[in-house]
């Protein structure tokens, strides 16, 4: 499951980005709802002062990641379609909690907006717990910075500016979300034995996926990649489309395709499919798909052939249609 989180100072456009996500069919979990529900449960008036007090109290009693932890069951429940947006991260502890829970499937998007534009939005939307003056907004900024907002902002994977009109902001958010909605993650894993040359194993991975980001810990190599086109070309150069297609079709599970490749032949850029009990352990490659049917990816990587030639070649743009 992929989790997309919007982070920004108060009134920067996080809630608007969440609504744009909902319009694209992406379920949204609003972190502020946890606080607002707690305010109502205690019979307090819903305003900025009470919301701030309750948020501080939750963090003091349950830890700085308290609200993030309370959100996780809701995120899991809504995540059955594979992607969820969470709106309202306020600090480093919350970012770290989500990273721990969702790993590389967590994407943090920062929304930048200057204070004048943010205060103008407060005046327009007239919500009960909104600030009533620019000084109140500055105080709210300082409160969120005490929770680690600045540091969390610096951890963002992407940044979207929101200092123009709504249509411009919407087009930016939609473009980012659509690129995530239809995407492919390549997840790679293999064991590195003491008798093996670590550099050669890394090279074997790079031979198939040059953009792979690789880490090795406790003798296990793990990597993530995005670009599948070099791997696709190798299948054609080696004229093994039929074999590759059969191996992929039988390894489909939900939104994933998992194949096992020979590590030794990979060091010379040769693709050789193997079983799980292969000597020195195989390279396990999982294609995790979002918004793309597994069969569509297989048609792109290894199409049906006639007389050794592809019957129909899919363009990359057609894969993501």
> Is 9 among the annotated ligand-binding positions?
yes
pTM of structure: 0.75
Give the CA angle between residues 300, 260, 273 to the nearest 5°. Answer: 75
CA-based end-to-end distance of the chain: 21
> Is 193 among the annotated ligand-binding positions?
no
Domains of the chain: 2-181 (3.40.50.300), 183-319 (3.30.1440.10)
Residue 92: its pLDDT value, please?
92
Whether the Cβ atoms of residue 234 and residue 243 lie closer than 8 Å to each other? no
> Is 8 among the annotated ligand-binding positions?
yes
Query: Does the pLDDT at position 124 exceed 90?
Result: no
Residue 150, classified by CB atoms within 10 Å of its CB into exposed (0-12), middle (13-18) or buried (19+), is middle
Residue 278: its pLDDT value, please?
65
Query: Does the pLDDT at position 197 exceed 90?
Result: yes
Whether the Cβ atoms of residue 278 and residue 214 lie closer than 8 Å to each other? no
Chain centroid offset of residue 71 CA = 17
> Is 58 among the annotated ligand-binding positions?
no
**77 to 27, 74, 250: CA distances (angstroms):** 10, 5, 29
pLDDT per residue as tens digits for the range 136-188: 999 999 988 988 899 999 999 999 999 999 999 999 999 999 888 889 999 99
> Is 18 among the annotated ligand-binding positions?
no
> Is 13 among the annotated ligand-binding positions?
yes
Query: Does the pLDDT at position 129 exceed 70?
Result: no
**230 to 6, 137, 269, 300: CA distances (angstroms):** 33, 50, 10, 12
Q: What percent of the chain is modeled with pLDDT above 90?
A: 78
Indicate the pLDDT class of residue 41, thresholds 50, 70 and 90. Answer: very high
Mean model confidence pLDDT for the chain:
93
Residue 200: its pLDDT value, please?
96
pLDDT per residue as tens digits for the range 56-105: 899 999 999 999 999 999 999 998 768 999 998 888 999 999 999 999 89
Residue 35: its pLDDT value, please?
93
The structure tokens listed for 235 are 């299948």
Task: Please list, in sequence order, all residues whose beta carbon lies within 8 angstroms of the beta carbon of residue 156, skipping any fewer than 6 positions away.
Answer: 7, 108, 109, 110
Q: Is 200 helix (H, G, I), strand (E, B) or coil?
A: helix
Long-range own/partner contacts, residues 15-23 (CB < 8 A, 24 or more apart): 15/87, 16/162, 16/166, 16/169, 16/170, 16/173, 17/85, 17/87, 17/109, 17/111, 17/160, 17/169, 17/173, 18/85, 18/87, 20/170, 20/173, 20/174, 20/177, 21/85, 21/173, 21/177
Whether the Cβ atoms of residue 113 and residue 8 lie closer than 8 Å to each other? yes
- Residue 221: count of CB within 10 angstroms of its CB: 22
> Is 10 among the annotated ligand-binding positions?
yes
Query: Does the pLDDT at position 277 exceed 80?
Result: no
**Rg for the chain, CA atoms, rounded:** 24
User: CA 140, CA 10: separation in Å to the nearest integer?
Assistant: 7
> Is 63 among the annotated ligand-binding positions?
no
Residue 84: its pLDDT value, please?
95
Instruction: Give the DSSP H or E segment for 85.
Output: strand 83-89
Mean pLDDT of 42-48: 89
Residue 279: its pLDDT value, please?
67
Residue 211: its pLDDT value, please?
97
Instruction: Give the DSSP H or E segment for 221.
Output: strand 220-225
């Amino acid at each position: 499951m992929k989790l997309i989180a919007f982070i920004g100072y108060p009134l920067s456009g996080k809630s608007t980005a969440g609504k744009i996500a909902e319009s694209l069919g992406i379920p949204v979990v609003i972190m502020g709802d946890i606080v607002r529900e707690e305010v109502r449960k205690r019979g307090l008036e819903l305003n900025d002062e009470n919301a701030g007090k309750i948020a501080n109290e939750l963090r003091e009693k349950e830890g700085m990641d308290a609200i993030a932890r309370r959100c996780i069951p809701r995120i899991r429940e809504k995540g059955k379609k594979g992607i969820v947006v969470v709106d309202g991260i306020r600090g480093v502890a919350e970012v770290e909690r989500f990273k721990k829970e969702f790993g590389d499937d967590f994407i943090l998007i920062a929304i930048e907006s200057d204070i004048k534009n943010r205060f103008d939005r407060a005046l327009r939307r007239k919500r009960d717990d909104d600030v009533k003056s620019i000084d109140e907004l500055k105080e709210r900024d300082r409160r969120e910075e005490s929770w680690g907002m600045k540091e969390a902002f610096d951890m963002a994977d992407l940044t979207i500016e929101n200092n123009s009109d709504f249509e411009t902001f919407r087009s930016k958010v939609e473009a980012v979300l659509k690129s995530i909605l239809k995407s492919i993650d390549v997840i790679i894993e293999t064991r590195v034995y003491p008798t093996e040359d670590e550099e050669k194993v890394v090279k074997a991975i790079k031979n198939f996926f040059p953009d792979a980001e690789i880490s090795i810990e406790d003798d296990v190599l793990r990597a993530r990649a995005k670009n599948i086109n070099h791997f696709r070309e190798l299948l054609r150069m080696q004229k093994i489309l039929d074999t590759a297609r059969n191996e992929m079709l039988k390894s489909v599970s939900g939104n994933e395709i998992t194949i096992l490749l020979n590590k030794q032949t990979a060091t010379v850029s040769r693709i050789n499919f193997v079983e799980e009990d292969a000597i020195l352990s195989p390279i396990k490659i999982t294609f995790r798909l979002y918004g793309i049917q597994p069969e569509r990816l297989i048609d792109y990587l290894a199409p049906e052939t006639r007389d050794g030639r592809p019957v129909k070649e899919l363009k990359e743009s057609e894969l993501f249609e």
